[in-house]
Amino acid sequence: MMKVEKISENMVYQKPRLITNNTMHYCPGCSHGTVHKIVAELIDEMGLEDNAVAVSPVGCSVLAYNYIDIDWVQAAHGRAPAIATALKRLMPDRLVFTYQGDGDLAAIGTAETIHSLVRGENIVIIFINNAIYGMTGGQMAPTTLIGQKTATTPYGRDTALNGFPYKMGEIAAMMPGVTYVTRQSVDKPAAVRAAKKAIKKAFENSIGCKGTSFVEIVATCNSGWKLSPVASNDWMRENMFPEYPLGDLKNNG
Amino acid sequence: MEDIKLLKGNEVLAIAAIRCGADGYFGYPITPQSEVMETLMDERPWLTTGMVVLQAESETSSINMIYGGAAAGKRVMTSSSSPGLSLMCEGLSYLAGAELPCLVVNVARGGPGLGSIQASQADYFQLVKGGGHGDYKLIVLAPNSVQEMNDFVGLGFDLAFKYRIPAVILTDGIIGQMMEKVTLSPERPRRTEEELAKECGDWATTGRKASRGKANLANSLFLDSVDLEQHNLHLQKKYREIEKNEVLCEQIQVEDAEYIMVAYGTSSRICMKVVEDMRKEGHKVGLIRPITLFPFPTEIIAKAAEHSKVILSVEMSAGQMVEDVRLAVGCACKCRVEHFGRFGGVVHSPAEVYEALKALM
Amino acid sequence: MKEEIIIAGFGGQGVLSMGKILAYSGVMQGNEVSWMPSYGPEMRGGTANVTVILSDDRISSPVIQEFDTVIILNQQSMDKFENAVKPGGILLYDPNGITHPPKRADIKVHTIAATELAGKLGNAKVFNMIVLGAYLKLKPVVTIENVVKGLKKSLPERAHKLIPANEEAIRVGMESVE
């Protein structure tokens, strides 16, 4: 049997303590794994393992509870912010965050999202925007770009047929009860560090009950986009970033 | 000294919630039950017991707030009326699937669609049989007085937590709007965090993973069909247990009755008058009043059917509970089962019910 | 004792609150009571009615179609409820605005000019208490002492200063019923 000490001796990297040993179902190259890692690291580093409840959506991250080892509530499609509202109102000292995709947050759950922002709930919304429905097999999302091909826009998103992509971050920033809105990505190490810093600030806001924090991560879906992981990052930089520019949209914290 | 008040059914729901130590109410205004949240907002229990009261943006959101609060092991409740309950059916299915305890009140009104705001019992199928997707049951309590509106708030919470199941108070606009004398329940404090951890520690998502030593999850997703079947078997076992233990039913002059009415809620009050009037005339008439609609008093009805000629199901609907009455009586029994209903918000007068029963004699 | 009453008129005439005070008075003397209002949009500018039952025993149906006493405060209610008086029962109405007075011969018909009297008292708000006084003269189901207790119980503390004016209106109603 191999000795554990022998491994640690040469260890240069290990998965965060709060990431479980379950095999992730995410596709290689998907941004979810990286964001999960950041979240797990932060909960550990900020000492929130005994003070955090998360809400998972319907979408690719529906199984997030299998990977990050804290208390989770699995939500009906789009309803995570309503669930988080009650969790935080009933347990005001906890960190409460939702982890949602674009279909969940910006299509079916629009009302729940908007009204949690309207009320300025002291929660964090982590919004993974990859401009596509990953789990159901690559259909159009509300944030799908004009001309982008998906399973339900096989000839490209046509505005006459499908309307226009919209920017939930900008809408969130308009709300007086929202403290912090930022748009980040995790396509390179510097971006990962910036995203981690942003989520840390958002978590601090929730613990301090400073209003809603909305962290949008512009993300890749190489399977849905039918591109290699590397090409996906390039496509995202070229096409997604101009439509969804990175940076803070609001910072009143 | 007993605390006797004259209150509306809707008002007493709010007062009872505060007094029995509810942690939260989440709702959306709809006639004829808006007094529930209005009373809570007026009472401001967050200043006294710490109970949270929040007006949500929709019934969809309300029921998901309930899902969140219930997941954390809190005693949470919502109330609405029929069209709102239709929106809540998604959430009720999730609550049932994730085995979360909560209290949901339907002060029912006429349907389908926007219908009317007058009293109705046409949501029996929706709440007793389903409404949402999947094989699930809810405990359904049917009060017929303002006093029972008070009593069933505490009872609903107790049953919900005993079985980890949503409990429903199914009532209607008449009982919600009318005032009667009511003896309020004794006050009991909200549970402390320690008490909650002791009672619900093995499932509630309180966020205290480290002290508990394991993460808790509120979930109704089972991607493996075999796992989901096992989960369903577990749910069914629980429902059978509830059927065995929790049937509540009032029987009025049933022992020697040849003609028996079955009615719940408002209809049962009307039928009580019909029993009074007919007994005065020497007719052997009785009333079975299911207090729990699930679990349904099947055995009590079956037993009564053995010595009765006719059982008349009296409902403010086109005939919903009558199906359960027929199942209880069975086709082998000689007793006839009939239905008499007014619906769409029309309430039977005692005279109409009297005539309907008389016609069967 | 069992008294089944319906009070019907326009929304804003104090129909529901009159019923409430009557119900509270019943509670004060240990009766079983039920108070069942019409509710919803029909109350806004339209007609409003409330059924009040006072009884020594448990009340079965709060929904009834015949009444010992019917109190009518507008023509629409007259059209709707004249026939709901039990034979031998009482119909009490304010003639103000009534174009078709009751025709039934098998009931006792009484009037109370409450609109006019409230005008004379210079307080339109006590209109319903004048009607209540008239009713209690005809059917002393509750004592005036219990009505005052009921008022105290049903009115918020800040409105208690209005109780003497209400008590006065009840007495005026008692003296003026015809």
Q: Which residue has the tokens 């669609």?
A: B113
**pLDDT for B1 beyond 50:** no
Domain for residue B13, yes or no?
yes
Domain for residue B278, yes or no?
yes
Domain for residue B203, yes or no?
no
What's the predicted TM-score (pTM) here?
0.94
Mean of pLDDT values over B96-109: 98
Domain for residue A20, yes or no?
no
**pLDDT for C139 beyond 70:** yes
**Separation CA A13–CA A73 (nearest Å):** 30
Domain for residue B232, yes or no?
no
Mean of pLDDT values over B116-132: 95
Q: What HEC string does B176-200 produce?
A: HHCEEEEECCCCCCCCCHHHHHHHH
Residue B102 has what pLDDT?
98
Closest CA to B244 of B141, B334, B163: B163
Residue A1 has what pLDDT?
47
Q: Does C34 touch chain B (CB under 8 A)?
A: yes
In this structure, are residues A77 and A109 in contact, taking their beta carbons and an 8 Å threshold? yes
Coil, strand or helix at B251:
strand
**Separation CA B151–CA B186 (nearest Å):** 10
Residue C13 has what pLDDT?
86
- Residues contacting residue A142 through CB under 8 Å, at least 6 positions apart: A102, A103, A106, A107, A165, A166
| C41 — pLDDT class (breaks 50, 70, 90) | low
Domain for residue A45, yes or no?
yes
DSSP code at position B346:
-
**Residues B33 and B122 grouped into a single domain:** yes
Q: Kindly report which listed range (A57-66, B248-257, C152-161) carries the lowest average pLDDT score.
A: C152-161
**pLDDT for B34 beyond 70:** yes
Residue C12 has what pLDDT?
82
Cα distance between the two ends of chain C? 25
Nearest CA in chain A to B57: A115
**Residues B316 and B173 grouped into a single domain:** no
**Residues B167 and B256 grouped into a single domain:** no
**Separation CA A27–CA A214 (nearest Å):** 25
Residue B7 has what pLDDT?
96
Query: pLDDT tens-digit profile of C74-111?
Result: 999 999 999 999 999 999 999 998 999 999 999 999 99
Q: Do C35 and B117 touch (CB under 8 A)?
A: no
Chain A: closest CA distance from residue B61 (Å): 6
**pLDDT for B315 beyond 50:** yes
> Alpha helix (H) ranges present in chain A?
4-9, 32-45, 80-90, 102-103, 110-118, 159-162, 168-174, 189-207, 222-225, 229-235, 241-243
* Averaged pLDDT of chain B: 96
**pLDDT for B273 beyond 90:** yes
Q: Do B273 and C64 touch (CB under 8 A)?
A: yes
**Separation CA B249–CA B289 (nearest Å):** 6
Q: Do B217 and A82 touch (CB under 8 A)?
A: no
Secondary element (H or E) of residue C153: helix C144-154
CATH of the domain at A123: 3.40.50.970
**pLDDT for C162 beyond 90:** no
**Residues B267 and B133 grouped into a single domain:** no
Across the beta sheet with C47-55, the strand order is: B4-8, B179-183, C32-37, C47-55, C2-10, C67-72, C85-93, C108-111
Question: Quick check: do A and C touch, 3+ CB pairs under 8 A?
Answer: no
Q: Does C71 touch chain B (CB under 8 A)?
A: no
Domains and CATH numbers, chain C: 2-176 (3.40.920.10)
CATH of the domain at B296: 3.40.50.920
Q: Kindly report which listed range (A4-13, B147-156, B203-212, C11-20) carries the lowest average pLDDT score.
A: A4-13
Closest CA to B207 of A227, A16, C27, A207: A207
Strands B4-8 and B179-183 come out as: antiparallel
CATH of the domain at B150: 3.40.50.970
Q: What is the number of domains present in chain A? A: 1
Domain of residue A72, residue span: 26-251
Chain A: closest CA distance from residue B227 (Å): 16
Query: pLDDT tens-digit profile of A120-140?
Result: 999 999 999 999 999 999 999
**Separation CA B116–CA A15 (nearest Å):** 59
Chain B: closest CA distance from residue C119 (Å): 31
Domain boundary among B143, B158, B183: B183
Angle at B306 between CA B304 and CA B310, to 5 degrees: 75
List the single residue in A69, A71, A82 with the smallest CB-CB distance to B61: A82
Domain of residue B64, residue span: 4-183
**Separation CA B38–CA B12 (nearest Å):** 12
Chain B: closest CA distance from residue A116 (Å): 9
Residue A177: what are its φ and ψ, rounded to 5°? -80, -5
Q: What is the number of domains present in chain B? A: 2
Residue B137's identity, in one-letter code, is K
Q: Do C153 and B349 touch (CB under 8 A)?
A: no
Q: What HEC string does C45-105 produce?
A: CCEEEEEEEEECCCCCCCCCCCEEEEEECCHHHHHHHHHHEEEEEEEEECCCCCCCCCCCC
**Separation CA B356–CA A151 (nearest Å):** 60
Residue B4 has what pLDDT?
80
